[in-house]
Amino acid sequence: MKRSTAQEMMDMPGNPPDLLADDLSNLRIINRYLGGYRGVLRALGRLIAEHDLDNFSLLDVGTGSGDIPVAIAMWARRKRLTARIIALDPEPLTVQTAVDQTREYPEIGVVRGDGMTLPFEPASFDFVLSSQMLHHFSEEAILAMLESWSQVARRAIIVSDLVRHPVAYHGIRLLTRVFTRNIMTQTDGPLSVQRAFSLNEWRNLFARAGVGSFRVFPSFPFRQTTLISVGR
């Protein structure tokens, strides 16, 4: 399966607000049940242990409706860790949804901003997280973002994303047609898999970025989580 360069509906301007809001709700369900949280929390736990931290700051780039930051905040509370989390997204309705979803979590702040040009000073966060966001972009844009994020992260970049595979494509295509009538979810779910990279392609991208040593951890189903140490 070759990588697709087709644009996902979510990335197109002028989407009806109700369509986008329903798609964001569907994505929260998919993240919950198809491993969207598991890899991120395992990676974060590994980094916290390696750096022997009892508090941490994290920037979630392309946060969507903020469900990943909520999962992190809940995990940190259980672990008795002090967390400061900023959820960043460029789309106004998505940002408002994230604000609504995170109201009960004072450790989470929501900021409207572009992942290509982060509105933060160098070394502002211990960790920069990208969850299911990089596959939306070209290889050149990904390399540029990783370089930019390496300046903002003090310790590491966490990349959690899909792995392109025919089984993943047909699986999510069937699943989205069964559980929703939302055309954006039905279109973007399979297309996200087509836009993703194989494990070897992910490794090559991180090597080309050259921003730090990296470890790629495959996870079920058809995902990878990568830790890039920036060594600040």
CATH (domain of 100): 3.40.50.150
Residue given tokens 């979810």 in the structure block = 185
H/E element, 160: strand 153-162
Q: Which two tokens stand for residue 183?
A: 């055309």
Q: Supply the pTM of this predicted model.
A: 0.95
- The whole-angstrom separation of Cα 172 and Cα 35 is 13
Closest CA to 195 of 225, 160, 161, 144: 161
Residue 4 counted as domain residue:
no
Residue 31 counted as domain residue:
yes
> How many domains is the chain built from?
1
Distance of CA 87 to the CA centre of its chain: 11
* Strand ranges inside 14-89, DSSP E: 55-61, 82-89
Residue 3 counted as domain residue:
no
Residue 34 counted as domain residue:
yes
Burial label for 203, CB within 10 Å (0-12, 13-18, 19+), is: middle
Residue 2 counted as domain residue:
no
Residue 181 counted as domain residue:
yes
The predicted structure's pLDDT at residue 169? 96
Predicted confidence pLDDT, tens digits, the chain (232 residues): 899 999 999 999 999 999 999 999 999 999 988 888 999 999 999 999 999 999 999 999 999 999 999 999 999 999 999 999 999 999 999 999 999 999 999 999 999 999 999 999 999 999 999 999 999 999 999 999 999 999 999 999 999 999 999 999 999 999 999 999 999 999 999 999 999 999 999 999 999 999 999 999 998 889 999 999 997 5
The predicted structure's pLDDT at residue 182? 97
119: containing domain: 9-229
The predicted structure's pLDDT at residue 35? 83
CB 158 within 8 A of CB 47: yes
For 52, other C-beta atoms within 10 Å of its C-beta total 6
Residue given tokens 């990208």 in the structure block = 130
Residue 1 counted as domain residue:
no
The predicted structure's pLDDT at residue 232? 58
Residue 64 counted as domain residue:
yes
